[in-house]
Structure 1
Amino acid sequence: MEPPAPVQEEKDAFGVPSGNPLAKVWALCNQPGTPTLNPRFAPDCGRAVPENALEKNFYKILRQLSTLSQSWLDMEASAAQARDEADAAAAAARAETDNAEAPSQSDQAEPVDAPIEETAKAEPSLVSDQAETDDKPEGTAIQETVPPAPLDVDEMAQVLVSGDGMVVWMLLLPPSGNGRRLSVADGEALLRDANVTVGIDQDALQAIFDNKTYFCLCPVAWGTPPICGKDGWTEDHFQRNFVRGMGNTDTGTVDYRAQSNVQAISKDAVICDIYPPVEGIAGLRVDGVAVPPPPVKEAAVPAGSNTVLSEDGTKLLAGIDGFLEFRGNLFEVKNLLNITSDVDYSTGNIDFRGDVTIRGDVREQFSVKATGNITIDGLVEAATVEAGGDVVISNGVSGNGQAVIRGNHVRAKYVENSTVFADTLEADYILSSRISCTDSILASGSRGAIIGGEVIAAKNIKASRVGSQSGSPTEIILGVQPKLREELNANRKQLMNIRTESSELVKRVAYLKNRMERSRPDERSIKKIQAAELRLSQLAEDGASLLSCQRMLMEQLNGLAHCRLESSLVYPGVRLTIGGASQNIEAAINKCVAVFDAEEHNIKFV
């Protein structure tokens, strides 16, 4: 038996149980160490066997190799028995030969020249044998006892295919005696018998039979594993776990008031992009059977309330204005923001598309802005509150001259030292504030007073008391739309600028023309005159347009028929203006109703 090639211990070798037939073959072949299934990679094959391939198929491989090893052991046992029998027969034959050639003591005592007859009598068997031989006819073979030839065990090989059909190993067992050596052709035949038709590495197969690598699992064929596809996925444009941001000022300091408490979002804004799954590529087993890739899944679209898919299904959009939250693995857009505390450093400024409810106060220097309604259960300090809808302030506004409130209909318990821009205002009392309403102002309630400041309404002002006994200066203006008045003032400033520029251009053109009359005309002066005249033409068109707009604004501002001031008591110190007429109240007026007399163009008390 040839000495087996030494087995190199490797980190991914797997031990074989001591009672297994393969372990017995290992021991009979004088392999060093403990029996292992030791995978060996073909040199320079450029391929790798998955790390867990042997681990997954260990017991299957061990069972197949046990059958092969038992066959080897059975043949080796038969060969050993035959060898023992042959050795015994050979020993017996040698003993008989030795006995036949050795002379007896009596023969040695006889004289050499004894008569032939006596010699023949002493060896009757020999004579008889010779006589029998001489009596046999020619051509008859002499029968002799020949011991049987010893049995030999050929090399054995086993093809082992992994359970998934992606890896094929071959294991070679050594021959015994003069057993036949296997060739590459034998290996190819074994692969065909195992239905291995794809991915055979001829170099690896050749190396097995050239190097006689016994007891090692040598990979000889590889399948092509399928390439996994990719499930559909989404890419978010907004944070799922929202972290409040901070606004940095130009000086590099952090403005904690500018922190964003929520993720504001506009209708039709893209919440996330949705990508379809990518199909995988099929693989091929060593027996030529295709292996489909794992199935892929559609993207899990996090569509919650008030969200919609785009027409092509590739985007998740906000269905309404509001703020975005991620709850229960879904994006939701809400149009009601509920602040359960004060608006202060814990919340930062609020800027929201939708309605806002604040359970506490709005602290100084903070702002609340919303496209919908704003409801404040507490009070507003020197802060800014701007709503696209209505503003309701349960405890009033104490503005310290800095608060600004904007909304359609503003309702507050009181307004002190603040500025309000609204369509209508309703409050218990108004103190030292600047109020501009495009419709009406109502100071109702237990006090119902308007004291100090400037109060402007396009139509009506109604209060229990206007002014105070101390004569606090109070300006009441009716019949002037605040926005229209601002537009009119801007219009007048533009007209004044046009007239000033036109006057300067006229003077410049006259100067250039006079200079050209006194001296020779030059190209440069001509171009200046042409540019100035073109500019004058443009200014004339702009001025005409502004005058037309001014007339329209004046017509709107002159709609004074429905303007009226109603108050149970108007104190001295009040200046009342309706349209273009003004009057200072010098004596208290009870049950005052003031209107505009269109005929007299003056204020009339009725």
Structure 2
Amino acid sequence: MAELTQQKPIIRITFDEMEAYMLLPEPEQGTGYTDSQIRQEMAARGITTGIDEQRISDMLEGHTYNAELLVAQGKKPVDGTDGYYEYKFDTNFDGKPKLLPDGSVDYWSVHSIESVTAGQVIAVYHPAVSGEDGMSVKGRLVPAKHGREQMPLKGKGFDRMDDEVTYTASMDGKIEMQNDRIVVLPVHEVSGNAELAEGNIDFRGDIVIHGNVESGVNIRATGSITIDGVAEACMLEAGKDIILRGGMLGGNKASVKTKGAITAKFFEFTNILCEGDLQADVLMDCSVICHGQIRLTGRKGSIIGGKVQAIRGLIATSLGNDAEKRTEIFVGAGIDVYSRLRVMEKKIEMTREELAKIEEGLEKFEILSKERGVSYTNDPRRTSLLRIKIKDSAMLASDEEEVRKLRILAESSKGACVSVLQEIYPGVVINMDELKLALKNMATGVEFYKLPDKIGTRPCSAGVE
């Protein structure tokens, strides 16, 4: 009689050791599998964790052969979550007015500042949640990713409560995110009109005027300026954005200067210098220099008269009028920027050469001091060189910063176009660097762009946001 061969269970463990499968080959008649045999085989393969006792029992009792079934399953790790801040204020608003269905622009929709009051909750911290480690079928620890705590909020104008997760404003003012910092800044608010009899306003922070601004009033803010009414022939200067919901009647005496963007219903007879973008309905007989882009895309968006420069380009519903009023449009950096850039680069080169000579002179004093054993610290010649070095170094830093800004202007001006969504009238003059194009005939829906030797035209492709 032939000796019966005892079959062995076939065990397969997944590559991550999180699952183990077993197949029982059909045994020869008269043989079978025992629980102890299977236990020994699993132990030999190192399987110690997550064993499915019921599954093994069912396979033995049910004579389940030639089918690979899951018999052990590890415990998967549960990753934790990082701590995070829930901000109780709007951290991202674009400051742009909404375009209404009828084509007009709603300047009251502009979100200029986010106001808070002392004691108002501005942020709540949700602590990190720890992860839960897992275990493989072989008893190997599978580490979970544990949540990381965030650093306490940085900034000024707020307090952290005793629970160490709640932050409240410590003053009334405007709240904003500056990179990874929260800052609550003071706001100077005028409930009515800003009148000449009450004097000028000069404020470190934001200014909000809920009425009109009379002629002759000067308003300066290191932050933003928001005027709900009409600004007359006044002077406005801001370190950030300017919003004029009622527009400006400049009377050839008004000036507006800002390092940020400008949003206004209209400007008439006003001098404007804007380092950001400018959006309005109408510019009439204004002198404008805008380092960004000018957009006049409302139903009545137009430029009539004046000189308007937009370094990053201009989009308008119409330019000029049927009276053929002379309207000069300049886009691109312009000849002046490139000329100034060349002058400043040459000046920087000369200053660096001068500083190199000064360093040589100072080094000679050091050598003489070592050779002769005499101190030249108070020598008038050395003192004079040091004074010149300090002055030239400061001048060099200032000039390098100006060159940096000029290069940014030159780079941002590349590809600047004039896009006219509807009519452009005779009397309009388009300038792009040294090139000029005077309109002789009315045109509609046209875009002007720079070619090497002339200003080209093509159908307007600009859309309205």
- Which TM-score applies when normalising by structure 2? 0.45
Structure number with larger C-alpha Rg = 1
Between Structure 1 and Structure 2, the one with more helix by share is 1
Between Structure 1 and Structure 2, the one with more strand by share is 2
- Which TM-score applies when normalising by structure 1? 0.35
- Structure possessing the higher relative contact order (Cα contacts under 8 Å, 6 or more residues apart): 2
